[in-house]
Every structure is written in structure tokens, then in C-alpha cells.
Amino acid sequence: MNRVPLLFLNVTIVATCGLVYELLAGTLASYVLGDSVTQFSLIIGLYLSAMGVGAWLSGKLERKLAERFIDVELAVALIGGFSAPILLLSFARLSWFPVVLYGLVFLIGTLVGLELPLLMRICKDRLSFKDLVSRFLTFDYLGALFGSLMFPLFFVPKIGLLKTSMVFGLGNAVVGLWGTWLLSDVIGGNLRMLRARGVFVIGVLLFGLTQADRVEGWSEDELFPDPVVLSKTSHYQRIVFTHSKRGYNLYLNGNLQFSSTDEYRYHEALVHPAFAAAPAPPKSVLVLGGGDGLAVREILRHESVTAITLVDLDPAMTTLAREFRPLVELNRDALRDPRVTVVNDDAFIWLDELFARAPETRFDVVIVDFPDPNNFALGKLYTRLFYQKLRRVMAPDAVATIQSTSPLYARRSFWSIVQTMEAAGLSVRPYQVTVPSFGVWGYALARLVPFDSPRTAPPGLAFLNDGQMAAMFDFPLDMAARPDDGLEVNRLDNQWLVRTYEAEWRRWQ
């Protein structure tokens, strides 16, 4: 039987797999290290030179070429096939990840470089030299084309990097096992042993495939202290939920937003002081940020409330708050309450548009719960201009609360927020509370007119009572503003807060 056409199919598979490992390494490296141009260039260069090394090494092999070819196939199958999981896991665990990355790329390149020279020498007696070279290279390039098209168009979007890596590992393993039949006439040694090895490699890869989803979870877990139960990249941020025996945690861009173990402290302190400071029972409430629905849960305790408008930038977050079961249980399905209207927009722009559309709109309570001002896009939500916009939608008796980072870790940032609010014409009462998973956290209570800090808490809460309500407004010495703090009003044109905040938190990391 003429087995030469089948060998060409093998050449195509080998070529496809070889290209895919290179693409995998390049893609993974640019995912985790960034700088795709540098990473792709380095990896192509290293891989190609390693192939050259492989080709050179092939000249050193004299005997048992068919067995060696099959061994190389099985080695590529294992190392190439597991390259993506190895890289993902080692990135999360190892500080010397680049050594693993480039070492692996070099090893795979060398093995792939051995493949074709060996196969060509095995086939040298079955074809004329002219045909050998022309056919082998033709199918080699065809395989490359196939790999380069399927990788971005099908494999990565449909099955992900990990499974792609193992599927192509299976390709090499199948070529190896199949080779024990195709090349049986030139294999001198123990065929059964070779086949057993091939079956074993295929088995390992199949097992790996079934575990791929778990591995994908582990690698991200490494960035978080607890197992990741949900991760989602929206247009605006990376949303990750982790779960441990103690409960759920929400991270946005890697920053903890709440832990279900103690979020009640944070959210009770965020919501109830404003209600306690209101001269009359508030009816309409505006929540800016707070897309997790936990602040709304606390607001809904107040029966006077007839309407809540929640404005959060990210529809992915508010959708999770309505549909992701652990979060829905935690916020008691607050965002589906008929009194709640959810708007997905940037509060900075929404306030302007509201004022243009319905200039008479006023709210009795405003709760502002943005992430800390750690970038310029968030920094604008802590400017004097923003608080001026906020004033325009506050009823004469309205009370506003603004989460304003930690007065302990970022004391100057905290007091700059207070000063900025005062510069916008608000009367401000700062307060602080301990939330174990965050540390000491600060807020600013504000009204359009001077007022006394509240001294009573509503009944039925888990944390706040009358004594604690009053105590929160007292600041220990290490959190109080100091005369030499050099505080500035945070304006849109100086973004003083973003720059200060970053410097202050850096000291604690």
C-alpha cells in the first residue's frame, strides 16, 4: 500500500500544531505581560531560532529515525499540548515566569524543528528528492495556513486558549501513534511499547481537556485569596466574585468592593446617617454608583421612600445585581423593587442631562458610592464641579452622603474630599466606621445648610445603634486633618485627589 499521501496529511497536521503553539505562547504572553508587539516579536524570533537548533540536531541522529520521530511527536504533544496551562499557572505562581515562558518556547521550537527533517529523511527512499522537497514544503505551508486561520477565527473564540493547546497536543499525539502503523516497515524496535506510550499521552491530554475549565478558574484564583465563582469583563471594568466559607467578595479591577461578612457595617453606615439627619421623612432618593444594590437594600428599609433612582456606569454590574443569585440574595432583590429605577450612565454626564431635561428634579437623599478615586475617570466624580452639579439636584432639606475613602490609610485624600465639598458650598459632617475587610472607612454627610450630626439610628439594624451613630462622627487623632496637610480643593483641572490618593495608598502596599 502506498502510504505516502497519508504521510503528507501528517505533515499538514504537524505544521498546523507547530504554528499554533507559537501563536499560543505569543497570545498568552501578550495577555499576561502586555506589550503584544514585543512579546510576539520575541516569541517568533526565539521559536524560529529554536527550530533551527532542532533542524541542526536532527543531523546528529543516525539510527532508528522512525522511532525518534514518534518520540518527538509524543514529546511535542505533551509539552506543546500543556503549554497554555503551564504558562497560565506559572504566571500566577512564579516571579520568574519569563524564564518558564521563553524556556518552554525554546523547547517546543527545538522539538518542532526536529519533526520535518526527520520525516523527510524517513521518506527519502519513497520519493525523488525533487518531489520530496516540493511536496513536504507544500503541505507544511498548507498546514501553517490552516493553523493561522483556525486559531483566531475558531479555536480561541470558541474553546479558549487552554483547550486549544490540548486539542493541538492531541493532534501531535495522534500523528505519533498513527506513525507506528504508517512507518511500521521501518521501525525496528518494540512497536507495542511505542504504541503504549502514544496511548498514554493521548489519555493524559484527554484528561487534561476535561479539567481545562477548572484550570481556568485556578489561574485567576491566584490573584484572589478565595476561589473565583464569577468573573466578567465589561466595557468598563473586570468584575470578579470570589467565595469562601465566610461568604462572597466582589472585586472591581482587583479592588475589593465588599465582603458579605461585613458589608452590612459599610452599607448601614453609608445609608442610615443621611436618613437620620433628614428633617422630614425622605421620599425620593438618588444613588450614584452602588450598582451591587446593597445600598438600595438599606434604603428600602425606610418606608417613607417612594422612588429610588440608581445611576451606575456599568450595565454588567446592575445586571449581576438583578440576576446573579448570591448577589440577589445579599441585596434582597433590591433592584427589582418597583420603587427602583436603574440608569446606566456616567453620573457626571447624567447629572447634566437630567438638569437639562428636567431642571426641577430634586432628591431628598443622595447616596454617592463610587469606587475610590484611583484614576482620572473616577477622579472627576470627586471634584468641586461634580459637587456643584450634585447641589443642583438636592432639595432644600436634602441630605447627601459620599463615600470618601479611608481617613486612616489616605488621610489627606479623605480631608481633601471634605474640603472640596465645602468649596462647592455644602455644609459637611465627616464620619468614619470600621469595616474589618476594608479597615477604617470614611464618609461625608452633607446638606445645603448647616446642621448637627445625627444621634439616632433606626431600629432593626445589625450594626448601628444610637450610641454608634453619634460615635462615628468623632475622629481619633491619627485620622483628623492636620494643619500641615497642605490640602487642596480637588478640581477638574488639577485632579489633586487622584495624585494624592495614589501616593497615600502606595505607602500601605
Active site residues: 369
Q: How far is the CB of 427 from another protein (least distance, A)?
A: 20
**Of 118 and 296, CB closest to another protein:** 118
Measured between alpha carbons, how far is residue 193 from residues 177, 190, 197, 203, 206 in Å? 11, 5, 6, 15, 20
What is the closest distance, in whole angstroms, from the C-beta atom of residue 392 to another protein in the complex? 12
We find the least distance from the C-beta atom of residue 379 to another protein, in angstroms, to be 8
Taking the C-alpha atoms of residue 365 and residue 272, their distance in angstroms, rounded to an integer, is 10
Minimum CB separation of residue 370 from another protein in Å reads 13
The DSSP letter of residue 258 is E
- Tell me, residue by residue from 488 to 507, as one string, x for binding to another protein by CB under 8 A and - for no binding: ---xxxxx--x---------
The window from 97-105, 199-207, 217-225, 378-386 that contacts another protein (CB under 8 A) reads: 378-386
Local structure of residue 331 (DSSP, 8 states): T
Of 219, 242, 331, 383, the one binding another protein (CB under 8 A) is: 383
What grid cell was written down for 392? 443642583
Q: Is the CB of 236 or the CB of 463 nearer to another protein?
A: 236
Distance CA 57, CA 114 (A): 7
One DSSP character per residue, 345-377 reads: S-HHHHHHHHHHH-TT--EEEEEEEPPPS-SHH
Nearer to another protein, 23 or 194 (CB): 23
Do 230 and 247 contact (CB within 8 A), yes or no? no
Does 15 bind another protein (CB under 8 A)? Our answer is: yes
Residue 151 Cβ vs another protein, minimum distance, rounded to whole Å: 7
**Binding letters toward another protein, positions 115-154, x by CB under 8 A:** ----------------------x--xx--xx-xxx-xx--
Asked if residue 64 lies in contact with residue 189, where contact means CB atoms within 8 angstroms, the answer is yes
Among 63, 192, 214, 235, binds another protein (CB under 8 A): 235
Shortest Cβ 86–another protein spacing (Å)? 20
The helix/strand/coil state of 337 is coil
Least Cβ distance, residue 44 to another protein (angstroms): 6
Measured in Å, how far apart are the chain's first and last C-alpha atoms? Answer: 69
Single residue of 33, 44, 167, 229 touching another protein by CB under 8 A: 44
Q: In the complex with another protein, which residue's Cβ is closer, 132 or 305?
A: 132
- Give CA separation, 78 vs 20, 68, 82, 107, 320, in Å: 14, 15, 6, 12, 39
Burial 205-236 (b: 16+ CB within 10 A, else e): beebbeebeebbebbbbeebebebeebeeeeb
User: Quick one: three-class SS letters along 410-426?
Assistant: CHHHHHHHHHHHHHCCC
19 binds another protein (CB under 8 A): yes
Q: 134 to each of 15, 101, 108, 115, how far by Cα in Å?
A: 15, 34, 25, 17
CA dist 372 → 249, 380, 388, 435, 463 (Å): 17, 11, 19, 15, 23
Write the DSSP assignment of 273-301 as a string of letters. Answer: HHHHH-SS---EEEEEE-TTSHHHHHHTT
Asked if residue 403 binds another protein (CB under 8 A), the reply is no
Using CA atoms, how far apart are residues 156 and 24, in angstroms rounded to an integer?
9
Under the criterion CB under 8 A, does residue 47 sit at the interface with another protein?
Answer: yes
φ/ψ of 445, rounded to 5, equals -95, 135
Which helix (H) or strand (E) covers residue 253, if one does? none
In this chain, which of 4, 9, 33, 40 binds another protein, going by CB under 8 A? 40
Closer to another protein by Cβ: residue 116 or 461: 116
The Cα–Cα gap between 485 and 407 comes to 13
In this chain, which stretch among 15-23, 207-215, 262-270, 356-364 interacts with another protein, using CB under 8 A? 15-23
Question: Is the CB of 112 or the CB of 398 nearer to another protein?
Answer: 112
Total residues interacting with another protein, rule: CB under 8 A = 48
Q: Which of 1, 37, 280, 356 binds another protein (CB under 8 A)?
A: 37
In the bound state with another protein, the residue whose beta carbon lies nearer, of 76 and 300, is 76
| Residue list 148-187, contact with another protein (CB under 8 A) | 148-149, 151-152
Q: Which residues pair with 427 in a beta bridge?
A: 447
Using rule CB under 8 A, residue 391 touches another protein: no
| Among the listed residues 273, 258, 400, 424, the one whose alpha carbon sits nearest the alpha carbon of residue 331 | 258
- Measured from the CB atom, is 40 or 451 closer to another protein? 40
**Least CB distance from residue 301 to another protein, whole Å?**
33
- For the window 319-358, what string marks contact with another protein as x by the rule CB under 8 A? ---------------------------x-xx---------
Where does this chain touch another protein (CB under 8 A) — which range of 120-128, 208-216, 383-391, 465-473? 383-391
| Minimum CB distance to another protein smaller for 337 or for 502 | 502
Asked if 238 and 231 touch (Cβ cutoff 8 Å), the reply is: yes
Q: Give yes or no for residue 97 binding another protein (CB under 8 A).
A: no
Q: Closest approach of Cβ 495 to another protein, in Å?
A: 4
Q: Which of residues 282-321 bind another protein (CB under 8 A)?
A: 313
Cα 506-317-346 angle, rounded to 5 deg: 75
User: Which residues contribute to the site for another protein (CB under 8 A)?
Assistant: 15, 18-19, 22-23, 26-27, 30, 34-37, 40, 44, 47-48, 51, 137, 140-141, 144-145, 147-149, 151-152, 235-236, 313, 346, 348-349, 375-377, 379-380, 383-385, 388, 491-495, 498
